Structure formats: C-alpha cells, structure tokens
Chain A
Amino acid sequence: NAGVTQTPKFQVLKTGQSMTLQCAQDMNHNSMYWYRQDPGMGLRLIYYSASEGTTDKGEVPNGYNVSRLNKREFSLRLESAAPSQTSVYFCASSGDRFNEKLFFGSGTQLSVL
C-alpha cells in the first residue's frame, strides 16, 4: 500500500523556470492538499482540493497553480520559479477535508537559484 506518492524528491531550478510537482494517492480519498514547509514557519497551505473537480486557495497561493486531474492525482505547478519558492513541498490527502487525519507524502525539496 503506497499511500501518498510525490515526485520528484529533489529538484533544482533556475529563476524563471517552470515545473510541475506530481502527487498521487491510492486510498480513495476525496481531499488532497499541497503544503510548503520553511524553517521556523511550520507548514503553510498552498492549495487544496476538497473533491474531484474542485480546487481552492490556501494561505500562500501566489505563484502556484494546481490541477486535480482525477480522484487520485493532484499536481502543483510553478509557472515562473522564484528564489522565495525554495522550500520543502508536501502533498497530503484525507477522506473528509480537514475533519480527518491527513496522510502525507515524503516531500519534494525544491531549490530555486
């Protein structure tokens, strides 16, 4: 049982480059999330998808776009990466939005030079 799978695990980008972080879950969860984690800041919500076909902004959505491709997959796209987007990104899923426990992926460490 894989749970939540994120790719890639590491990525280095130059300022202005674009990339997509992929996330897939095999638990038949309705809700999926993208968080970023910065030192001393805890986790901050970027975007979430309460169910297939819907997406909503979180606390720090600027500079990001998301796609809920189907029930299993939720991708995060950086159109024009900036050094301020250097962070560790986590994808998570849950059965019922924020009322149930979240299952996290292992993270993507992104550096923007």
Chain B
Amino acid sequence: SQQGEEDPQALSIQEGENATMNCSYKTSINNLQWYRQNSGRGLVHLILIRSNEREKHSGRLRVTLDTSKKSSSLLITASRAADTASYFCATGRKQGGSEKLVFGKGTKLTVNP
C-alpha cells in the first residue's frame, strides 16, 4: 500500500514561477524524503526531513513537515526548465520491528520556458 500520496499528480508552470507539491501520509513516520526523477533516469535525493523537524532548505528548495496534519510540502522557487521532472515523497517508518521507506506515486512537474 502507498504511504505517501503526492498532490497534484501533474503541475505545469512557467519558468520563474514557484512550484508547490504536497505529500500526505497515514501513519507516524521517522523521516520524510523528497526525490527527483528525470525522464528515463534513476531517482536523485533532494532533502530528508526528520519527524522532529518542521522546515528545511536547500538552495531553491524548501520542505515543510507538519506531523499533526501528516503532510509535507516541497516548494521550488524561481523554477527553471531544468526542474522539469517527476518528484516523489518517501516516508520512513517502523512497522512490526522493521523499518520501511515507502514511495508515493509522484508529481510530474513541467516548467515551460
């Protein structure tokens, strides 16, 4: 079963605009990670935010985590055509003594030049 669910499924914006993608999950987590996947490539890690953190920044990326609402958002500021990719959230949690990292289905972002 999917743990993280991204919203929206697809997003199309103009270069220079900000892009916001959301991720919701159902159970308690240890951490939440965001990954980017360019077409035909493997996933690349963007940011990891732990359950006791509320916000993290990395360059033009800003991630927030609200554990009370079981949701996270990824903001890309001043988007570029090169940001066109699919973005996935992944939630790390403990279940039955073992740890898991479960990926959502992704948001496909298109940045138009």
Q: How large is the interface on B (under 10, 10 to 19, 20 to 34, 35 or more residues)?
A: 20 to 34
- Chain B residue, CB-CB nearest to A109: B40
B41 lies within 8 A of A106 (CB): yes
Q: How large is the interface on A (under 10, 10 to 19, 20 to 34, 35 or more residues)?
A: 20 to 34
In the complex, the number of residue pairs spanning A and B with C-beta atoms less than 8 Å apart equals 54
Whole-angstrom CA separation of A6 from B105 in the bound complex: 23
Judge whether B77 is part of the interface by a CB distance below 8 angstroms.
Answer: no
Judge whether B44 is part of the interface by a CB distance below 8 angstroms.
Answer: yes
Interface residue from B42, B92, B101 paired with A105 (Cβ < 8 Å): B42
User: When each residue 39-76 of chain B gets 1 if its CB lies under 8 Å from chain A and 0 otherwise, what string results?
Assistant: 01111110010000000000000000000000000000
Judge whether A110 is part of the interface by a CB distance below 8 angstroms.
Answer: no
A42 lies within 8 A of B41 (CB): no
Contacting residues, chain B, for A42 (C-beta < 8 A): 2, 88, 103-106
Judge whether A72 is part of the interface by a CB distance below 8 angstroms.
Answer: no
User: When each residue 85-113 of chain B gets 1 if its CB lies under 8 Å from chain A and 0 otherwise, what string results?
Assistant: 00010101000001111111110000000
Chain B proximity of A49: nearest CB distance (Å)? 13
User: Chain A contact residues: over half helix, strand or loop, or mixed?
Assistant: mixed
B30 lies within 8 A of A99 (CB): yes
Judge whether A43 is part of the interface by a CB distance below 8 angstroms.
Answer: yes
Chain B proximity of A10: nearest CB distance (Å)? 11
Given contacts A42-B2, A99-B30, contact A107 B103 (CB under 8 A): no
Instruction: Report which A residues bind B (CB closer than 8 A).
Output: 4, 35, 40-45, 56, 58-59, 90, 92, 97-107
Instruction: Report which B residues bind A (CB closer than 8 A).
Output: 2, 30-31, 33, 35, 40-45, 48, 88, 90, 92, 98-106
30 CB contacts below 8 A, A to B, read: A4-B42, A41-B105, A42-B104, A42-B105, A42-B106, A43-B43, A43-B88, A43-B90, A44-B103, A45-B100, A45-B101, A45-B102, A56-B98, A58-B100, A59-B102, A90-B43, A92-B43, A98-B31, A98-B92, A98-B100, A98-B101, A100-B48, A101-B33, A102-B35, A102-B43, A104-B43, A104-B44, A106-B41, A106-B42, A107-B41
